[in-house]
């Protein structure tokens, strides 16, 4: 019996091969999208999952009134270990993000991130160098491991895993050290590093004022985390009270500790934003929706085919078939199609994967034995078979033989609402995607065309290790000689150094003026900072070396800062911070140093700041047509220009750095572009096949109408009318939804376009046009047919 | 074999009952060949559907081989289809995606008859109907008369005790119709299969041995046919 049913199924599918291939093809495309999304979601949610103690690892964070952070003081780790039995192990880590130069003879390596970890932390975080984790001896020894790739750069011919001597910094620095071996660079972890340095104990000399470390805990299984969180908070407040005699009690009361599980760190850290998590959820919903749309095609077409299959059902029933047997038969038919679709989907996914990996900057592969896909796929197959097939199978197997065998049976009335409803649903989703796509486009266009208030395209950011603070802080030198030497190079127009570059984050400190005390952003700069970045002046003046006081207590603020302190005439007023009474000499126009998502923060620019950060970020403005030669000259003369930094000249273009702020939005745009195209494509595929069935069912009606004198146009109108109405309804349904969603998205930008109307009208136009074209193509056949053929008695 | 007592069938539409069958009481014995006649809309087909358990009477009693059909569960009814009833339709109703042989095989599959016996039964039936050469053709490659032959072969292959035929020759030209009616008669006389047919044609009705005439849902006449042939 199974064999016979299989034969019927195959013959049936072959007879309707056009529609079958549309059905299977559409489903395959949707499945491919779904598979990719699922692989991505699995990847993103399983960071550090290989860690055997995954569920018991927490990171200690501190909540201050204004912000949360994972940086705490090193002594606190010891305090936790001593006080709480439920803590199995406590570790300390510290990420250094400044660039380190490591040399082996002529071979040079620039490391980005070196993770310093104590032995306990290395154990907790499952840091496994090649040859296993070794405990360092004594208090001083640091075992440093570099990633395989870095080792390859330094020691291309090295085969063994023996320690090697290397030089640190410039070749004239004379500092040497040992690399203990190599370590696999695990990108699928929250703790990514180019190298790791392991010591027995870290932060020994630190006190509670130095929040330089991150504490990670491994708890015993079954620990009451909320309770422990409270106890740790109490402990932290007590320790702070002990260490800081001068601190006011109420200030300490506002500080609390929290525990963030390892599983939260990647997507939704408590101290940080959960945008990646939201994006992941949005992506997953997207993937599911696309799959649902494709399944709807299946359901719709299967029901549309019902009239044809009804007779078969009726006959089989009077021959003695149970309903269950028929239901199974139809489900098996749909299962077969889904199976083919899933094979095609895998092929498709494999083809798309490289661009997908590129877009999301991940390394996903399908053909990995550990891939969960291999047990997920059969499950998906089962689920889509049921979603797509259960309703048609039940409808078909439920036919009453007495009705279907009478001859003039039609299902059109019974499932009319359902089929149209499903079609409307498909189009509604497509419309939402189209509107979102256009809205994202217009916001991105706005961001690209809007004046950000400063110019980055001629500015080169030079990475540098020399400190240029004045008055001198430990080992810093004067920037003036460096600037003078650089300006001698033809093409270089201006040069400056600052603590932060636009596009990164600024420091925050408390300043008071005009009777107001507030935490505002600060940037410590050198002369020519504003000129180099082409920032516009509103009133007053920029810093200038003709004024002796500028290097002592002059300040420039932006418009927002002036407004924050309620200053009507800011020039000449005093603003106090870092123990200095600054005199405001200029007000600059606001510029979007943090991109479009965050509103311009009140910011103060000063040259002298005893409590500020190190000025290391050199920015140089170069004439555009002499860019290449100027860079070449800088490279060759760098050792003379900036001797403390060494012979290695490293630079980046500031516009590229600033452009990284847009990266996420561009990602989103690509995703929505793909999603909009996919949904509309699948919906149109469904419509195409559906219109074919509808017109086939109405061939007799069309023939009669033609004989009664209807012309072609009238018949086209007749057939298009229902579809036209459905698409219109779909638009009306999705407009409010799309409005709410896009508005929500736009609200994540401090600077955004007004809610545009164009996407709404465009989406309506596009969907209606596509519908009319699709339906008309189908209707043409019916219209062109000779009425005599249609009316001939079978 | 079949006992009908006071069968009624009506549809209630906006409080108005429109009757299809009224007070139908009759019995059909094993081995009879009954023709149901009457004008269009008289209720012939509905009666046949009720006899074939495709429709349920609004009320009344129906006993099939001594069992009360109205009290039967779906599964029991399906068992009856498998073992006792064969259907023949005016529009043949062969499954288009199956060949002649497969169409004939289908009922045997539901009866769970083993493969070897299925083969011999199909071969037997094909042989009897002179259709061996056509066994791999699809229904749309056959003439109407040939399709109806396949339809009857399909009804017969499961060895039913009764065949219900709804205007079996309605779509056929007269020579083909005669052929089919001869076949029915032969089956009735030689194999003792009970046959119940609905027909418009006085001539076809003469093939049987009893004629039930229905008008407006009521049995008007119930006469035996004199054997002239």
Q: Where are the domains of chain B?
A: 31-42+73-224
Could you tell me if residue B130 is left (phi over 0), alpha (psi between -120 and 50 degrees) or otherwise beta? left
B95 to chain A: which residues are within 8 Å by CB?
Answer: 8, 311-312, 315-316
Q: How far is CA A633 from the centre of its chain?
A: 39
Residue A703's pLDDT band, with cuts at 50, 70 and 90, is: confident
Subunit contact B111:A322, Cβ cutoff 8 A: no
The reported pLDDT for the residue numbered A515 is 84
Identify the top-confidence range among A67-71, A326-330, A686-690.
A326-330
pLDDT over 90 (residue A279):
no
Q: Residue A402's closest chain B neighbor by CA?
A: B54
Instruction: Please say if the pLDDT value at position A790 is more than 70.
Output: no
Is the per-residue pLDDT at A76 higher than 60? yes
Of B85, B90, B98, the CB nearest to A8: B98
Q: Is B54 on the interface with A (CB under 8 A)?
A: yes
Give the nearest chain B residue to A401 (CA atoms). B54
- A401 touches B: beta carbon within 8 Å: yes
Choose the closest CB to A319 out of B75, B102, B106: B106
B106-165 residues touching A, CB cutoff 8 A: 106-107, 109-111, 154, 158
* Interface membership of A311 toward B (CB under 8 Å): yes
In this predicted structure, what is the pLDDT of residue A471?
A: 66
Query: Computed from CA positions of residues A240, A246, A249, A254, in that sequence, does the dihedral angle turn out positive or negative?
Result: negative
Q: How far apart are CA A298 and CA A314, in angstroms?
A: 22
Give the position of tokens 């046009």. A769
Q: Does B207 touch chain A (CB under 8 A)?
A: no
3-state class percentages of chain B: helix first, strand second, coil last, to nearest 5: 35, 30, 35
**Residue written as tokens 């940086």?**
A71
Residue A717 has pLDDT above 70, yes or no: yes
Strands of the B162-166 sheet, one edge to the other: B85-88, B162-166, B194-198, B33-37, B210-215, B218-224
The answer to whether residue A708 neighbours chain B at the CB level (below 8 Å) is no
Q: Which residue of A has its CA nearest to B156?
A: A319
The reply to whether omega before B206 is within 30° of 0 (cis) is no
Q: Is the minimum CB–CB distance between B102 and chain A shorter than 8 Å?
A: yes
What pairing do the DSSP bridges indicate for beta strands A603-606 and A214-219?
A: unpaired
Partner-chain contact A320 B81, CB within 8 Å: yes
Q: Dump pLDDT digits (tens) for B167-216.
A: 888 888 888 889 889 989 998 998 899 999 999 888 888 898 899 999 98
Give B-chain residues touching A8 at CB under 8 angstroms. Answer: 95, 97-98
Q: What residues does B26 pair with on adjacent strands? A: B4
Is the per-residue pLDDT at A79 higher than 60?
A: yes
Query: Which of A2, A17, A317, A319 is the best residue to mutate to test the B interface, defined by the most B CB atoms within 10 Å of its own CB?
Result: A319
B75 vs A contacts (CB less than 8 Å): 322
pLDDT one-digit tens code per residue, A289-326: 888 888 888 888 777 777 778 888 888 888 888 888 88
CB spacing of B82 vs A320 below 8 angstroms = yes
A318 and B91 within 8 Å at the Cβ level: the answer is: no
Gap from B102 CA to chain A (nearest CA, Å): 8
Shortest distance between the Cα of A329 and any Cα of chain B, in A, equals 13
Q: Mean pLDDT over residues A223-245, rounded?
A: 86
pLDDT of A126 strictly over 50: yes
Q: Which of B54, B79, B98 sits opposite A401 (nearest CB)?
A: B54
Point out the residue among A4, A320, A402 whose CB comes nearest to the CB of B49.
Answer: A402
Phi/psi at A343 (5° precision): -65, -45
Q: Give the gap in angstroms from C-alpha B157 to the nearest C-alpha of chain A.
A: 11
B139 CB neighbours in chain A (<8 A) are: none
Greatest CA separation for chain A: 107
> Which pLDDT tens digit goes with each residue over B6-45?
999 988 887 888 888 988 999 999 999 999 998 888 888 8
Say whether the ipTM exceeds 0.85: no
Mutation for B interface: A307, A316, A320, most B CBs within 10 A = A320
Q: Residue A246 — very low, low, confident or very high, per pLDDT cuts 50/70/90?
A: low
How far away is chain A from the Cα of B184, in angstroms, using its nearest Cα?
19
Name the residue in chain B with its Cα closest to that of A400.
B54
A773 CB neighbour count, 10 Å cutoff: 11
Mean pLDDT (whole number) for A195-215: 83
Q: How far is A379 from chain B (nearest CA, A)?
A: 31
Q: What is the 3-state secondary structure (H, E, C) of A411-471?
A: CCCCCHHHHHHHHHHHHHHHHHHHHHHHHHHHHHHHHHHCCCCCCCCCEEEEECCCCCCCC
Tokens of A177: 């050290």
Q: How far apart are the first and last CA of chain B?
A: 27
Chain A residue with the nearest C-alpha to that of B112: A1
Q: What is the pLDDT of residues A584-607, one digit of tens each?
A: 999 999 998 888 888 888 999 998
Closest residue in chain B to residue A9, using alpha carbons only: B97
Least confident of A408-417, A722-731, B53-62, B108-117: A408-417
DSSP H helices in A625-711 = 627-641, 654-697, 699-707
Tokens representing residue A557 in the block: 């603020």
A315/B contact by beta carbon, under 8 A:
yes
Quickly tell me which residue has 């910094």 as its tokens: A169
Residues of B with Cβ-Cβ distance to A316 under 8 angstroms: 95, 106, 110
Q: Has residue A165 got a pLDDT over 60? A: yes
Q: Is B173 on the interface with A (CB under 8 A)?
A: no
CB pairs < 8 Å spanning A and B: 71
Instruction: Give the model confidence (pLDDT) of A144-159 as tens digits.
Output: 888 888 888 888 887 7
Residues of B in contact with A321 (CB under 8 A): 78, 110
Contact yes or no for B54 and A311 at CB 8 A? no
User: Which of B93, B95, B102 is nearest residue A405 as measured by Cβ atoms?
Assistant: B93
Backbone dihedral angles phi then psi of residue A74, each to the nearest 5 degrees: -60, -40
Question: Does B95 contact chain A (CB < 8 Å)?
Answer: yes
Q: Does A8 touch chain B (CB under 8 A)?
A: yes
| B2-13 and B16-28 beta bridge pairing | antiparallel
Query: Quick check: A311 and B95 CB within 8 A?
Result: yes
Cα–Cα distance for residue pair A11/A534, rounded to 1 Å: 73
DSSP state of B14: T
The verdict on a CB contact (< 8 Å) between B78 and A315 is no
Length of chain B: 229
Where residue A769 falls among pLDDT bands split at 50, 70, 90? very high
pLDDT band at B229 (very low <50, low <70, confident <90, very high): very low
Mean pLDDT, rounded, of chain A: 84
Could you give the CA distance from residue A690 to residue A699 in angstroms, rounded to a whole number?
14
Could you tell me the two tokens for A300?
A: 């719709």
Å from A385 to nearest chain B CA? 23
The pLDDT of residue A202 is 83
Report yes or no: A316 and A404 within 8 Å, Cβ to Cβ.
no
User: How many CB atoms sit inside 10 A of residue A68's CB?
Assistant: 15
What backbone torsions phi and psi does residue A187 show, to the nearest 5 degrees?
-75, -15
* Candidate from A239-253, A562-576, A638-652 with smallest mean pLDDT: A239-253
- The 3-state DSSP class for residue A234 equals helix
**Are B82 and A319 within 8 A, CB to CB?**
yes
B121-B126-B131 Cα angle (round to 5) = 170
Lowest mean pLDDT among A260-264, A405-409, A577-581, A771-775: A405-409
Q: Which fold has domain B31-42+73-224?
A: Rossmann fold (3.40.50)
Q: Do B110 and A312 touch (CB under 8 A)?
A: no
Residue closest to A215 by CA, chosen among A71, A52, A63, A49: A71
**Does the distance separating the beta carbons of B109 and A1 come in below 8 Å?**
yes
Q: Note if the bond before A471 is cis, omega within 30 degrees.
A: yes
Beta pairing class for A195-199 and A114-118: parallel
| B81, B90, B96 member nearest A319 (Cβ) | B81
When pLDDT is averaged across residues A476-492 and rounded to a whole number, the result is: 88
């Amino acid at each position: 019996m199974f064999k016979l049913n299989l034969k019927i199924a195959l013959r049936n599918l072959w007879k309707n091969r056009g529609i079958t291939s549309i059905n299977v093809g559409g489903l395959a495309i949707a499945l491919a999208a779904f598979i990719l999304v699922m692989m991505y979601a699995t990847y993103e949610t399983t960071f550090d999952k290989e860690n055997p103690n995954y569920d018991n690892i927490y990171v200690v964070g501190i909540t201050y009134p204004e912000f949360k952070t994972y940086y705490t003081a090193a002594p606190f780790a010891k305090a936790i270990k001593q006080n709480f039995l439920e803590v199995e192990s406590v570790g300390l880590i510290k990420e250094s993000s400044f660039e380190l130069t490591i040399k082996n003879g002529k071979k040079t390596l620039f490391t980005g991130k070196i993770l310093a970890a104590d032995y306990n932390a290395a154990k907790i975080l499952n840091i496994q160098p090649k040859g296993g984790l070794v405990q360092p001896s004594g208090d001083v020894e640091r075992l440093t491991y570099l990633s395989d790739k870095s080792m390859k750069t330094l020691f291309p011919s090295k085969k063994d895993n023996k320690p090697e001597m290397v030089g640190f910094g410039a070749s004239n620095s004379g500092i040497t050290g040992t690399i203990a071996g190599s370590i696999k660079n695990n990108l699928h972890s929250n703790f990514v590093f180019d190298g790791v340095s392991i010591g027995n104990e870290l932060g020994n000399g630190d006190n509670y004022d130095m929040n330089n470390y991150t504490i990670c805990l491994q708890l015993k299984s079954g620990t009451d985390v909320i309770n422990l969180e409270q106890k740790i908070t109490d402990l932290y407040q007590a320790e702070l009270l002990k260490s800081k005699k001068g601190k006011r009690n109420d200030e300490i009361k506002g500080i609390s500790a929290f525990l963030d599980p390892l599983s939260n760190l990647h997507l939704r850290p408590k101290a940080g934003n959960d945008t990646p998590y939201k994006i992941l959820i949005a992506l997953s919903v997207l993937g599911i929706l696309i799959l649902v749309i494709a399944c709807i095609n299946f359901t719709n077409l299967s029901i549309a085919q019902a009239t044809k299959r009804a007779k078969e059902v009726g006959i089989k029933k009077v021959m003695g078939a149970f309903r269950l047997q028929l239901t199974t038969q139809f489900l098996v038919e749909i299962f077969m199609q889904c199976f083919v679709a899933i094979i095609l989907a895998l092929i498709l996914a494999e083809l798309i994967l490289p661009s997908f990996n590129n877009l999301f900057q991940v390394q996903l592969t399908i053909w990995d034995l550990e891939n969960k896909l291999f047990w997920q796929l059969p499950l998906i197959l089962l689920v889509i078979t049921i979603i797509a097939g259960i309703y048609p199978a039940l409808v078909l197997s439920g036919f009453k033989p007495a009705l279907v065998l009478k001859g003039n049976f039609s299902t059109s009335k019974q499932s009319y609402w359902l089929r149209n409803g499903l079609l409307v649903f498909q189009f509604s989703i497509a419309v939402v995607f189209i509107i979102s796509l256009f809205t994202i486009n217009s916001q991105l266009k706005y961001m690209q065309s809007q004046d950000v208030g400063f110019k980055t395209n001629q500015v080169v950011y030079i990475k540098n290790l020399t400190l240029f603070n004045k008055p001198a802080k430990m080992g810093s030198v004067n920037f003036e000689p460096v600037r003078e030497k650089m300006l001698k190079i033809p093409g270089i127009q201006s040069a400056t150094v600052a603590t932060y570059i636009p596009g990164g984050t600024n420091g925050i400190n408390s300043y008071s003026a005009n009777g107001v005390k507030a935490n505002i952003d600060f940037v410590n700069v050198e002369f020519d900072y504003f000129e180099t970045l082409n920032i516009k002046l509103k009133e007053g003046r920029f810093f200038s070396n003709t004024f002796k006081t500028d290097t002592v207590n002059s300040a420039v603020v932006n418009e927002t800062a002036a407004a924050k302190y309620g200053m009507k005439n800011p020039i000449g007023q005093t603003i106090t911070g870092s123990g200095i009474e600054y005199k405001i000499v200029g007000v600059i126009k606001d510029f979007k140093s943090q991109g479009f998502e965050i509103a311009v923060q009140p910011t103060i620019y000063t040259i002298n700041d005893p409590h500020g950060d190190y000025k290391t970020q050199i920015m140089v403005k170069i004439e555009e047509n002499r860019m290449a030669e100027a860079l070449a000259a800088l490279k060759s003369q760098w050792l003379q220009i900036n001797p403390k930094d060494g012979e290695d000249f490293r630079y980046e273009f500031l516009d590229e750095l600033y452009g990284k702020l847009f990266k996420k939005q561009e990602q989103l745009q690509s995703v929505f572009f793909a999603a909009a195209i996919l949904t509309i494509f699948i919906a149109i595929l469904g419509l195409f096949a559906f219109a074919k069935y509808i017109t086939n069912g109405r061939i007799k009606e069309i023939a009669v109408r033609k004989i009664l004198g209807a012309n072609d146009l009238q018949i086209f109108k007749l057939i298009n009318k229902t579809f036209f109405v459905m698409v219109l309804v779909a638009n009306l349904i999705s407009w409010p939804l799309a409005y709410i969603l896009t508005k929500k998205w736009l609200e994540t930008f401090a600077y955004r376009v007004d809610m545009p109307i164009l996407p709404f009208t465009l989406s309506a136009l596009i969907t209606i046009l596509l519908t009319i074209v699709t339906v008309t193509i189908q209707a043409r056949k019916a219209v062109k047919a000779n009425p005599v053929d249609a009316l001939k008695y079978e | 074999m079949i006992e009908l007592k006071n069968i009624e069938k009506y549809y209630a539409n906006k409080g108005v009952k429109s009757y299809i069958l009224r007070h139908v009481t009759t019995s059909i014995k094993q081995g009879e060949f009954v023709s149901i006649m009457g004008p269009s809309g008289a209720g012939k087909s509905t009666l046949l559907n009720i006899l074939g358990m495709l429709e349920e009477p609004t009320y009344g009693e129906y006993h099939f081989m001594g069992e009360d059909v109205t009290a039967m569960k779906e599964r029991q009814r399906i068992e009856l289809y498998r073992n006792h009833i064969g259907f023949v339709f005016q529009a043949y109703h062969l499954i288009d995606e199956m060949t002649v042989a497969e169409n004939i095989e289908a009922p045997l599959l539901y009866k769970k008859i083993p493969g070897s016996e299925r083969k011999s039964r199909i071969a037997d039936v094909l042989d009897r109907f002179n259709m061996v050469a056509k066994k791999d053709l699809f229904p749309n490659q056959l003439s109407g008369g040939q399709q109806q032959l396949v339809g009857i072969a399909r009804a017969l292959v499961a060895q039913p005790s009764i065949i219900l035929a709804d205007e079996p020759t309605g779509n056929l030209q007269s020579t083909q119709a005669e052929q089919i009616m001869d076949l029915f008669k032969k089956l009735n006389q030689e194999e003792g299969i009970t046959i119940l047919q609905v027909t418009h044609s006085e001539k076809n009705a003469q093939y049987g041995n009893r004629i039930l005439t229905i008008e407006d849902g009521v049995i008007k006449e119930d006469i035996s046919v004199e054997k002239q042939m």
